[in-house]
Amino acid sequence: MTGAQFKRVTPRSGAPVTLSFDGVPLTATAGDSILATLLSHGRFVRHHEFGGGPRAGFCLMGACQDCWVWSGHGGRLRACTTPVADGMALFAEPQPLLPSHE
Amino acid sequence: MNRIVIVGAGPAGIAAAEVLCARGHRPILIDEGEQAGGQGYRQPSAGLALDMSRLMGSEAGKYDALHARFANLKGRIDYRPRTMVWAIDGRTLHLVCDGRADVVEADTLLLATGAMDRVAPLPGWTLPGVFTLGGAQVALKDQGCLIGHRVAFLGSSPLLLLAAGQYREMGGEVAVVADTTPLRAKAAAFPAMMRSPRTLLRGLAYMAGAMRAGTPLLHGVTPLAIEGEGHVEALRVRDGRGRERRFSCDAVALGYGLKPETQLADLAGAALAYDADFRLFLPKTDGFGRSRPGLYLAGDGATIGGADAAEASGALAAHAVLTDLGASQDIAVIRRLARQVVRLRGFQRGLARAFAWPVAQIRAQPDATVLCRCENVTIGAVRAAMAQTLGPVEVNRVKAMTRCGMGRCQGRVCGPALQEIVAGVSGQDGAAAGRLRGQAPVKPIALAAAADTAP
Ligand SMILES: Cc1cc2nc3c(=O)[nH]c(=O)nc-3n(C[C@H](O)[C@H](O)[C@H](O)COP(=O)(O)OP(=O)(O)OC[C@H]3O[C@@H](n4cnc5c(N)ncnc54)[C@H](O)[C@@H]3O)c2cc1C
Ligand code: FES
């Protein structure tokens, strides 16, 4: 998918963070939310589980639960309210449990 | 000592904590967010070089003042950020903080849980790039991002123009501000809005700003569809004169005013009643915020009133707590706060009439329009289920039949529109259509945490 959904208009200072989404490496700055990071690089965060197409979050304030992504450790994360962390491996689809690196 | 717990660190919760603290109490103040301030006075996340005075404009002074007051208060209360209340069971509040479960017992509970956007569905609203209007502001304040490069603002709310102005100010392109309410309907609500002339003037200033900037400003539109392959490419509406208009854009901000976050109040045993102006079920309180013995409600979570009303109602509810605990009170202070809350909420009531929730447009939506984003239930599926049942049907019945509102947002998003569809199909008024009941967990939590302390 080409293009970014979000347009960053304010720079952020902080430690650089490297993470990945569906195996593609992404860079971010500590303090960025997962959602802002994904939508600064692309246009969706998950595929709806009941055939509702691609989704990219909706309320951006933790109320609608439309922005969940899956972590490589098997859990799910609410992308709009979860900050990025170095080494995060994120996926648009549920993942089989991988051994934890933490 | 009576243990007082406040949920919500927005202007309402902070003002309440301040009043209690000044009288020697040390309340617990719980908030899901990383930082205090709530929605309207949300602070940028760490490291973001955002000029908040520029962004907050005429409200910058209040923003600074609230955060300065909180900085001073923080050490004197038991403040618990990043903590979500996910269930209330009698006096027990079930919490989850950083993935760990906890409980706290409350003798007195003051809920100041705020609000979220109310949205009306239309074809294409599940496409990536459609966000709530409040969400468009959160993206900016919290993350320094705009929701798109060229944004259409659709709905009915004075905040459409406010947010569009902020987006322009920050270098975003505004494709259109499209309001579903006709201009003459807004003019008719002018007398009620005169209760808060300052806010009214601010609204007129936003409108003037949009006109100077050449932003297309439409009133009385009928939304037709959000179009795009895999993401938003255009918004199509019929304008007030009946012409079809298409605005290319890569994002849409959608908002029809706010709806209170009432799930916790519901679980805590507050009574709710239908309000015909807001067309929502709102918790019932007395003039001071008392719901039932030991339970107090304040801010937008009780009745939509905006930040100033939230602050005043938070302080007022705290005074009610003190009174009920037997403390002597300064009646003059309480009277002044009560008058302020009545005036400001009256103004919002005027706004709710002026910027109307588009009942007829919702009921006229085609069958294919998705109503429930979580479970992917269409309006047609709701109509079909209702056609198969005899007698009056209310929303919880429809939920059981179609799964509409059963998803992980618990009907926060689809609830108001579902209510109108059900009322429309069954020929009842909104009150008879009923409301989706709050259930624990009020938001999804990690299962490990639920198992530890399940009620
Ligand atoms: C997304 C959004 C953006 C807005 N932006 C503006 C704006 O730019 N300008 C403006 O004038 N008004 C804005 N508003 C209106 C705003 O609601 C009021 O101005 C004001 O913030 C209301 O104050 P409050 O204290 O009642 O609630 P809020 O400020 O909303 O605070 C409620 C707090 O309760 C917390 N909470 C809720 N449920 C739980 C739970 N279960 N567990 C733990 N914590 C919980 C929330 O995290 C939140 O911090 C916005 C509203 C929304 C929803
Ligand atoms: S976008 Fe609604 S919860 Fe994240």
The string of DSSP letters for A27-84 reads EEETT-BHHHHHHHH-S-SEE-TTS--EE--SSSSSSS---EEEETTS-EEETTT-B-
Q: Would you state the pLDDT for residue B275?
A: 95
Distance from the B69 Cα atom to the nearest Cα atom in chain A, whole angstroms: 24
B32-65 burial string, b = 16+ CB within 10 Å, else e? bbebbbbbbbbbbbeebebebeebbeebeebbee
Q: What angle do CA B94, B98, B100 make, to 5 degrees?
A: 50
Look at strands B272-275 and B280-283 and give their pairing: antiparallel
The answer to whether the Cβ–Cβ distance between B135 and A51 falls below 8 Å is no
Q: Among A3, A60, A75, whose Cβ lies nearest the Cβ of B139? A: A60
Instruction: For the domain made up of B4-116+259-351, give the CATH fold.
Output: FAD/NAD(P)-binding domain (3.50.50)
Q: Would you state the pLDDT for residue B449?
A: 45
Rounded distance between C-alpha atoms, residue B364 and residue A2, angstroms? 35
Look up the pTM and report it: 0.95
pLDDT in tens, chain B (455 residues): 799 999 999 999 999 999 999 999 999 999 999 999 999 999 999 999 999 998 888 889 999 999 999 999 999 999 999 999 999 999 999 999 988 999 999 999 999 999 999 999 999 999 999 999 999 999 999 999 999 999 999 999 989 999 999 999 999 999 999 999 998 888 777 776 676 677 777 778 888 888 888 999 999 999 999 999 999 999 999 999 999 999 999 999 999 999 999 999 999 999 999 999 999 999 999 999 999 999 999 999 999 999 999 999 999 999 999 999 999 999 999 999 999 999 999 888 888 888 999 999 999 999 999 999 999 999 999 999 999 987 778 999 999 999 999 999 999 999 999 999 999 998 888 899 999 999 999 998 864 444 444 44
Six token digits for residue B137 = 């502001």
Six token digits for residue B161 = 């123009």
CATH of B119-256, one of 3.60.15.10, 3.30.200.20, 3.40.50.261, 3.50.50.60: 3.50.50.60
Rounded distance between C-alpha atoms, residue A80 and residue B125, angstroms? 19
Rounded distance between C-alpha atoms, residue B268 and residue B288, angstroms? 18
User: By residue range, what is the domain housing residue A57?
Assistant: 16-91
Rounded distance between C-alpha atoms, residue B235 and residue B229, angstroms? 13
Q: Would you state the pLDDT for residue B195?
A: 67
In a domain, A2, yes or no: no
In a domain, A80, yes or no: yes
In a domain, A98, yes or no: no
> What does DSSP assign to residue B1?
-
Lookup result for tokens 């919880």: B396
Same fold, B119-256 and B365-433: no
| Ligand 1 atom closest to Cα of residue B442 | 41
Could you tell me the distance, in angstroms and rounded to a whole number, from the CA of residue B301 to the centre of ligand 1?
8
Lookup result for tokens 């904590």: B17
| Ligand 2 atom closest to Cα of residue A79 | 4
CA dist A45 → A48, A54, B94, B387 (Å): 10, 7, 30, 36
Total count of domains within chain A: 1
* Ligand 2 contact, A39 CB (< 6 A): no
Pick the ligand that lies closest to the CA of residue B63: 1
The answer to whether the Cβ–Cβ distance between A9 and B172 falls below 8 Å is yes
φ, ψ (nearest 5 deg) of residue A11: -70, 160
Q: Ligand 1, atom 37: nearest CA belongs to which residue? A: B113
Q: Would you state the pLDDT for residue A101?
A: 43
Give the Cβ contact number of residue B426 at 10 Å: 17
- Interface confidence, given as ipTM, is 0.94
| Ligand 1 atom closest to Cα of residue B141 | 8
Domain spans of chain B? 4-116+259-351, 119-256, 365-433
* Ligand 2 contact, A62 CB (< 6 A): yes
- Tell me the chain B residues in contact with residue A58 when contact means C-beta distances shorter than 8 Å: 130-132, 135, 373, 413
Which residue in B246, B252, B184, B250 sits closest to B220, CA to CA? B184
Q: Would you state the pLDDT for residue B354?
A: 87
Rounded distance between C-alpha atoms, residue B68 and residue A72, angstroms? 41
Q: Would you state the pLDDT for residue B187?
A: 79
Rounded distance between C-alpha atoms, residue B87 and residue B100, angstroms? 14
Q: Low-confidence residues of chain A, pLDDT below 50?
A: 1, 100-102
CATH of the domain at A27: 3.10.20.440
- Tell me the chain B residues in contact with residue A65 when contact means C-beta distances shorter than 8 Å: 374, 407-409, 443-444
In a domain, A24, yes or no: yes
| Ligand 2 atom closest to Cα of residue A58 | 1
In a domain, A64, yes or no: yes
Rounded distance between C-alpha atoms, residue B333 and residue A3, angstroms? 56
Six token digits for residue B394 = 């209310």
Pick the ligand that lies closest to the CA of residue B135: 1
| Nearest residue on chain A to B448, alpha-carbon basis | A75
Q: Among B47, B116, B128, whose Cβ lies nearest the Cβ of A63? A: B116
Under CATH, which number does the domain B365-433 receive? 1.10.10
Write the DSSP assignment of B377-401 as a string of letters: EEHHHHHHHHHTS-S---HHHHHHH
Pick the ligand that lies closest to the CA of residue B117: 1
Q: Ligand 1, atom 33: nearest CA belongs to which residue? A: B8
The answer to whether the Cβ–Cβ distance between B170 and A9 falls below 8 Å is yes
In a domain, A100, yes or no: no
In a domain, A8, yes or no: no
Which residue in A97, A98, A58, A96 sits closest to A80, CA to CA? A58
Q: Which residues pair with B247 in a beta bridge?
A: B235
Six token digits for residue B106 = 């409350």
What digits encode the pLDDT tens for the residues B22-77?
Answer: 999 999 999 999 999 999 999 999 999 999 998 888 889 999 999 999 999 999 99
Could you tell me the distance, in angstroms and rounded to a whole number, from the CA of residue B12 to the centre of ligand 1?
9
Ligand 1 residue neighbourhood (C-beta within 6 Å):
A 61; B 7-13, 30-33, 38-40, 84-85, 112-117, 134-135, 137-138, 258, 261, 264, 299-301, 306-307, 310, 442
Rounded distance between C-alpha atoms, residue A80 and residue A68, angstroms? 8
In a domain, A45, yes or no: yes
